[in-house]
């Protein structure tokens, strides 16, 4: 059966740019920093096309002749490129998700999760403190050029796993489980000061309830825990920012290591 596409340099080049565009578009659709509702979908699409024109020259791979004669093989290659880009975008957002999770836990400790707000990015109800910490994380992520680091990671991914080169094999470990562990550990590290302060406030309220039974501890406890939690949040903000800054590059490096799962 003759191939449905001619084996020419122009077709090869067009398919190469298309595969890289699929990888970049998957990263843009899954990376938290590009998921802002103020960024329209046509802008995301043309951004992927523009970045593919910039990134493609560093790729020394080409679409094989066998792929040109098989539509199913081209589809599998496109799915593979999409999964690679989505893995980089999702795993590299680990500090953002960890800070959002820590905000959710802080809101639970302070009793603020009874009041939720609508998150326009995920289109779900979320905690007030979690949304506040997430928007703060987005701001610092852009401030420290995390989006530029993602674009550089794209070029590095093309070098590590070239387009059109089949390197299927059994991975050494499952990176998603390690990613979940990192998110939970980082969120707990950030939330521990607030948790300790709220526990001490509860202990103090217990002594007050025993010594002064006439006082309404329930009415006193809600504003006290909120005030203590917000004060501790403001106090530990510089250290939280330092921890977040150190994890941005580590998350991108972990994302590049995790894409070997899809090699």
Query: 3 lies in a domain?
Result: no
Most confident of 7-16, 65-74, 97-106, 215-224: 97-106
The number of beta carbons lying within 10 Å of the beta carbon of residue 219 is 9
| Structural domain includes residue 125 | yes
Which of 161, 96, 193 has the alpha carbon at shortest distance from 135? 96
Q: Is the pLDDT of residue 193 over 50?
A: yes
pLDDT in tens, 130-183: 888 888 888 888 888 888 888 888 878 877 777 766 555 545 555 667 777 888
Residue 125 has φ and ψ, to the nearest 5°, of -80, 135
Assigned domain for 4 exists = no
Q: Which domain holds residue 183?
A: 9-262
| pLDDT given at position 64 | 55
262, 83 in Cβ contact below 8 A? yes
Place of tokens 């002064």: 212
Q: What percent of the chain has pLDDT over 90?
A: 0
Counting the structural domains of the chain, the total is 1
pLDDT tens per residue, range 26-63: 888 888 777 776 677 788 888 888 888 877 776 655 55
> The whole model's pTM is what?
0.77
Residue 228 lies in a domain: yes
> What is the arithmetic mean of pLDDT over 63-74?
62
Q: Is residue 142 part of a domain?
A: yes
pLDDT at residue 146, as a whole number: 81
């Amino acid at each position: 059966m003759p191939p449905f596409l001619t084996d020419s340099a122009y077709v090869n080049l067009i398919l190469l740019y298309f595969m890289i565009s699929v990888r970049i578009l998957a990263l843009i659709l899954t990376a938290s920093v590009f998921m802002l509702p103020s960024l329209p979908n046509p802008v995301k699409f043309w951004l992927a096309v523009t970045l593919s024109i910039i990134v493609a020259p560093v790729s020394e791979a080409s679409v094989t002749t066998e792929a040109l004669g098989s539509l199913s093989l081209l589809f599998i290659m496109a799915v593979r490129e999409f999964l690679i880009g989505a893995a980089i975008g999702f795993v590299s957002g680990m500090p953002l998700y960890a800070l959002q999770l820590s905000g959710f836990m802080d809101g639970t400790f302070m009793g603020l999760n009874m009041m939720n707000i609508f998150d326009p990015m995920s289109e779900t109800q979320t905690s007030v403190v979690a949304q506040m910490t997430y928007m703060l994380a987005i701001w610092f992520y852009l401030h420290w050029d995390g989006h530029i680091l993602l674009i550089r990671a794209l070029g590095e991914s093309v070098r590590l796993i070239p387009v059109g080169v089949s390197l299927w094999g059994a991975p050494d470990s499952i990176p998603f489980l390690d990613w979940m562990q990192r998110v939970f550990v980082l969120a707990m590290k950030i939330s521990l000061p607030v948790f300790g302060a709220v526990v001490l406030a509860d202990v103090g309220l217990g002594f007050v309830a025993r010594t002064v039974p006439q006082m309404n501890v329930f009415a006193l406890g809600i504003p006290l825990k909120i005030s203590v939690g917000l004060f501790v949040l403001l106090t530990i903000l510089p250290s939280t920012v330092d921890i977040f800054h150190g994890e941005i590059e580590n998350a991108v490096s972990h994302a590049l290591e995790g894409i070997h799962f899809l090699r």
